[in-house]
Amino acid sequence: MEIMAKMWGQLGSITATVMLFYAMFDRFFPPPLRQYLRTYTQKLTSLINPYISIKFSEFEGERMKRSEAYTAIQTYLSANSSERSSRLKAEVVKDSQTPLVLSMDDNEEITDEFQGVKLWWCSRHLEVKNQSFSFYPASDEKRFYKLTFHRRHRHVVIRSYIKHVLDEGKAIATRNRQLKLYTNNPSSDWYGWKRTKWSHVVFEHPASFDTLALDSKMKEDILKDLVKFQKGKEYYAKVGKAWKRGYLLYGPPGTGKSTMIAAMANFLNYDIYDLELTAVKENVELRKLLIETSSKSIVVIEDIDCSLDLTGKRKKKKKDKEEGSKDAVKKALDEEEDKESKVTLSGLLNVIDGIWSACGGERVIVFTTNYVDKLDPALIRRGRMDKHIELSYCCYEAFKVLARNYLDVESHRLFPRIEELFQETQMTPADVADNLMPKSVEEEAETCLERLIEALETAKLEAKKKAEEEEAKKKAEEEESKKKKAEEEVKENGELAKKEEENNKKSGAGVKENGFLSSGN
């Protein structure tokens, strides 16, 4: 005990001496000399200390912008800090599926391991009194992360580990983010205080490929294509193409085109940008909107055949050479024409497949239409719309998915009759779902299935009646055509007979005249 007491006493004496010398050094030595001595002290320490440290500050640059590296590191460490750290702090994060995030507290340290290399992360917090004036004043608090590792692992850490941390942090943030649905604002609202080109709401559509009423083979093919695209960054770079993919969804109304887009967004974890072309005045605005979209997004133009006249043809304005005031009605028409969108087909093609399409990465472009034949072939050719997906009427496989979704029924005695009716008539998935949805708490699955059978039989009779009416109309048109043709033939024959009679009369008159002349001679 006496030895321990003497050791502690000597340690306290040494500490007091060091503190005294440091106070004298800091007070009496001039700043240039202190800086000079500190430089050589750090060099001496680096020769003895085998560890290297890297600091990642929270803010960077003159404008003190929040560092993306710091944010990615914070996200990466937060995924493990709740299990390894003894002191935690809670933060509310906006636009995240987990709004309350736990991270290690200031001056706390955790250990990480990568490829057999042991590393130490430490969170630091410093109070700084800034007396300088700036248009971008710095915060009084400075936070940073300090990474420490042995010098023999320098190449592994710098070349691989830091990139791994940043990529993993961004991936975690992407997985945890809250999806958004964007719509473009009119260009008149783009400028001013806190004005933006896009407005958004939280995207909470519950659609998924599991609940999508679609043939299983087609569903599997679409899922494989989406996974291939999402993991194809290196492949697209290798072949020299922008990392984007176009999908054309076409089919009758009510076949699930919008639901397909929602399922794609939830599967890929992408935001949706619903582009309303009628609100875009010209091609330049269209390009500006594209630049404002983020990566990992789906750009959607619904009912593109109805959005604009994408033929490149525009009515030419008539120039009035005469000076003077225009007529009030004509002036109003001119002003209305100026308000119309002047987005051209070439402008849209340049955005989705030209140079501007390479702005950003990992972007899906989706067109929907009810009438694919109305679209310009240049707009939907392969390479622009890479995959054409026809969403047609409900089949029996799609019905079973809807029955499981709406009624929790996998099989039923009425299923064979329903399968038979689906082979004989057509009904959209929207109509099938409406018939399967219970209309009251008391309704059972059998009641809903019977209602669907009744609707299918009614649709079958209506289709048969319509086919008979069309057949009768076709026959009537054929008979009318035959009648008109016969009348035309009779008319033509009458005209020919009349002409022949006239020719005969002329011929008889000529003969008579010739005979008269002969007798006279």
The per-residue DSSP string of 165-207 comes to: HHHHHHHHHHHHBPPEEEEEPPGGGSSSTT--SEEEEE-----
Q: 121 and 264: one domain? A: no
Note whether 361 and 230 are within 8 A (CB).
Answer: no
Note whether 218 and 391 are within 8 A (CB).
Answer: no
**CB-based burial of residue 426 (10 Å sphere; 0-12 exposed, 13-18 middle, 19+ buried)?**
middle
Token reading at 75: 């996200």
Residue 496 belongs to some domain of the structure: no
Token reading at 482: 């035959």
Task: State how far the Cα of 349 lies from the Cα of 353, in Å rounded to an integer.
Answer: 6
Q: 77 and 114: one domain? A: yes
The SS3 of residue 415 is helix
Which residues does 107 contact at the CB level (< 8 Å), separation at least 6? 122, 123, 124, 125
Residue 4 belongs to some domain of the structure: no
Task: State how far the Cα of 314 lies from the Cα of 476, in Å rounded to an integer.
Answer: 42
Which residues does 279 contact at the CB level (< 8 Å), separation at least 6? 184, 185, 186, 341
Task: State how far the Cα of 340 lies from the Cα of 347, in Å rounded to an integer.
Answer: 16
Per-residue pLDDT 10s for the chain (521 aa) are 555 556 666 666 766 675 666 666 566 667 776 666 666 666 666 667 788 889 998 887 665 678 888 889 888 888 776 666 667 777 766 666 666 667 777 778 888 899 999 999 998 877 655 555 555 455 556 888 999 999 899 999 999 999 999 999 888 888 888 899 999 998 877 876 667 889 999 998 999 999 998 888 999 999 999 999 999 989 998 998 889 999 999 999 999 999 999 999 999 999 999 999 888 888 888 888 988 898 899 999 999 888 766 544 444 444 444 444 555 555 554 555 555 667 888 888 888 887 777 777 789 999 999 988 888 888 888 888 999 999 999 999 999 999 999 999 999 999 999 999 999 999 999 999 999 999 898 889 999 999 999 999 999 999 888 888 888 888 888 888 888 887 787 777 777 777 777 776 766 665 555 554 444 44
Residue 121 belongs to some domain of the structure: yes
Q: 285 and 424: one domain? A: no
If one counts every other C-beta atom within 10 angstroms of the C-beta of residue 244, the result is 22
Interhelix angle 2-28/31-48, rounded to 10 degrees, is 140
**CB-based burial of residue 470 (10 Å sphere; 0-12 exposed, 13-18 middle, 19+ buried)?**
exposed
Q: 107 and 237: one domain? A: no
Q: 28 and 157: one domain? A: yes
- pLDDT score, position 306: 80
Beta strand pairing status for 88-92 and 65-66?
unpaired
Q: What is the pTM of this model?
A: 0.71
Residue 441 belongs to some domain of the structure: yes
Residue 349 belongs to some domain of the structure: yes
Work out how many domains the chain is built from and give that number: 3
383 closest CA partner among 360, 359, 356, 349: 349
* Tokens 């085998």 found at: 50
Residue 429 belongs to some domain of the structure: yes
90-92-93-98 Cα dihedral, nearest 10 degrees: 80
The CATH number of the domain holding residue 271 is: 3.40.50.300
Q: Which domain holds residue 80?
A: 24-129+140-177
The SS3 of residue 150 is strand
